[in-house]
Amino acid sequence: MSPLRPISLHNTLTRTVDPVVPLVPGEISMYTCGPTVYNFAHIGNLKTYLFQDLMKRTFLAAGYKVRHCMNITDVEDKIIRDSQKDVPATAGNEARHQAMAALTTRFTAAFLEDLAALAILPPTYTPRATECIPGMISLIQELERRGLAYPRDGSVYYRIAGLPQYGRLARLDRQGMKAGASVDADEYERDSMQDFVLWKATKPGEPWWDSPWGHGRPGWHIECSAMGMELLGERIDIHSGGVDLVFPHHENEIAQSEGCLGHTWVNSWVHGEFLLVDGEKMSKSLGNFDSLHASEQALKRIRVFRKRMEEDGSTGQGAWKEAIDPLARLAAAREAFWTAMADDLNTPEALAALFTAITDLNAQDDRIALTRAERDAVLGFLDETDAIFGCWPHEELQADATVTALIEQRRQAKAARDWARADQVRDQLKAMGVILEDRKDGTVSWRRA
């Protein structure tokens, strides 16, 4: 295991690249905002999850343990809109909950398949919002006790005038905030138009939970605060999400959690994408990381080199007397690689160090073959870089995840009696060289032709 390496990340709170000093030495707690499961994830969402996976893998490869929580938002306005449209007006609460669960179960499964297909490491915890309602209610009650929340017509609102530091993450101009701009639109009366909703009173045709304020459901922002505090605790090292979540979602998460705790909740807010603040770019990692994924040639080069290193080398050491020690070169490349990764995940420079080493060692191997021990050391470095990028030896895993996802699509098509679609998916699998065997019990096994 490699020694613990210090890693610095761009912190949206400070707008600088700061060292991440974990609250528990050697262990990173990380909360990432997960999907709202009413549709398939789009590429913009998946880019964020890829970036977060890169960040997590870097900490793991640097020797840390990572406790990672990613929520599944399975109750929210759009989910209710889409799941309730075919439910009869006379339906009771239980039927409404069932319709909502049917929709969210389907898209949660699709989302988890996407993560597997992208070889994204599974989080330690994936709580569903609907399973954490009691925690949300007690959080809102605590905010009420502290004078930071007030009920109005069965809903509950956050009183942002009560929290002087509100707006610090997004660097809002409190005085200049326009009433009604960029805040949750809601028809209920609030003390101030800037106050946001914590608990929403139910409207006809919506599923609801019991609460001290009557029938209702949680607001979206309170979900993350409650789940994060429940699973990772009162202090968290890193909180991450898409850059579009900085305001209002993350600002409101801070208001809720810190308003309740009375101290800092999250040390590093990491967004990892281009964000223009006062015309300044905040971070660069993601765009460059994407170009790696697109770069088939770069991957091929690493694969070819890896294969070469797996082959037998020379047995003698003597020939190296006059040559530069390949192990010293390797050590320098490893240092350069880690220096770059530790600097806000500077992937272009890290990969440059890797490719320089490949060019170097290829040239040396042409002249005098590397020994087995040297080859093993090189393979160790390739394993280390692969633990972070997770791209090159996982083709089969990714292909298997794609097959599984298509089989699931076919199962759903058959269940919906959409035979044309089921046949279409079967043909698609056939074209990929996959042969399906339908079993009597309804399950499907598959093999490659």
By CB under 5 A, name the binding residues for Zn ion. Answer: 33, 224
CB of 253 to Zn ion, least distance (A): 6
Helix, strand, coil percentages (3-state) for the chain, rounded to 5, are 50, 15, 35
CB of 346 to Zn ion, least distance (A): 27
Q: Which is nearer to Zn ion, 127 or 216 (CB)?
A: 127
CB of 252 to Zn ion, least distance (A): 9
- 172, 286 Cβ separation under 8 angstroms: no
- 126, 34 Cβ separation under 8 angstroms: yes
Residue type at position 140: I
Q: Which is nearer to Zn ion, 33 or 232 (CB)?
A: 33
SS3 label, residue 178: coil
CB of 247 to Zn ion, least distance (A): 12
Q: Which is nearer to Zn ion, 99 or 224 (CB)?
A: 224
Sequence-separated (6 or more) residues with CB below 8 Å from residue 404: 113, 116
Q: Which is nearer to Zn ion, 33 or 139 (CB)?
A: 33
Q: Give me the DSSP letters along 385-400.
A: HHHHH--GGGHHHHHH
Sequence-separated (6 or more) residues with CB below 8 Å from residue 11: 17, 18, 267, 268, 269, 270
Question: Using CA atoms, how far apart are residues 120 and 240, in angstroms rounded to an integer?
Answer: 15
Cα dihedral 36/344/300/309 (nearest 10): -130
Q: Which is nearer to Zn ion, 245 or 407 (CB)?
A: 245
Q: Which is nearer to Zn ion, 33 or 110 (CB)?
A: 33
- 30, 289 Cβ separation under 8 angstroms: no
CB of 239 to Zn ion, least distance (A): 8
CA angle 199, 203, 209 (to 5 degrees): 50
Residue 238: φ, ψ to 5°: -130, 135
CB of 224 to Zn ion, least distance (A): 3
CB of 46 to Zn ion, least distance (A): 17
Q: Which is nearer to Zn ion, 48 or 194 (CB)?
A: 48
Q: Kind and range of the H or E element at 17? A: strand 16-19
Question: How many helices (H) and strands (E) are present in the chain, helices listed first?
Answer: 13, 14
Q: Which is nearer to Zn ion, 33 or 246 (CB)?
A: 33
Q: Which is nearer to Zn ion, 33 or 55 (CB)?
A: 33
Question: Using CA atoms, how far apart are residues 409 and 429, in angstroms rounded to an integer?
Answer: 11
Question: Using CA atoms, how far apart are residues 114 and 104, in angstroms rounded to an integer?
Answer: 15
CB of 160 to Zn ion, least distance (A): 18
CB of 71 to Zn ion, least distance (A): 7
